[in-house]
């Protein structure tokens, strides 16, 4: 049974930083894709960053500010978020594929078999 549990969300002022963590218990797909999606009130869910063996992808709006990393030994994926803006305010969800590589999954939510409950990030101006 795969379970994703996020942590690290909170409230910060614009320009601040947060580090999100996602522990993927029971996840054994080393070739699979892990990543972060977000959904702001009234908006569609969007992919933020994904990571797999040899591949990292960022959505354009966070490139240069956010960094995704993965520790396979700990079954954990991280999202370091710097220079946060109010536009980054959203519920952030961790997601994982069951074996689909990032190059095929991309930011298509339907390709991800496992999802966490989400952690709220609020950035004030």
**In sequence order, what are the residues at sequence separation of 6 or more whose Cβ sits closer than 8 angstroms to the Cβ of residue 61?**
87
Residue 31 confidence (pLDDT) above 90: no
Distance CA 34, CA 115 (A): 10
pLDDT level of residue 41 (50, 70, 90 thresholds): very high
CB-CB contact of 113 with 97 (8 Å): yes
pLDDT of residue 33: 97
pLDDT of residue 16: 98
CB-CB contact of 114 with 98 (8 Å): yes
Element (H, E) at 29: none
Compute the average pLDDT of residues 1-26: 97
């Amino acid at each position: 049974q795969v379970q994703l549990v996020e942590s690290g969300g909170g409230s910060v002022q614009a320009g601040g930083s947060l580090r999100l963590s996602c522990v993927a218990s029971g996840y054994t797909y080393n070739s699979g894709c892990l990543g972060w999606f977000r959904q702001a009130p009234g908006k569609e869910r969007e992919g933020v960053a994904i990571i797999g063996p040899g591949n990292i992808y960022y959505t354009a709006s966070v490139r240069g500010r956010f960094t995704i990393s993965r520790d396979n030994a700990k079954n954990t994926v991280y999202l370091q978020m710097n220079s946060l803006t109010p536009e980054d305010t959203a519920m952030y969800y961790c997601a994982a594929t069951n074996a689909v590589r990032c190059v095929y999954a991309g930011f298509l939510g339907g390709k991800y078999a496992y999802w966490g409950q989400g952690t709220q990030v609020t950035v004030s101006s």
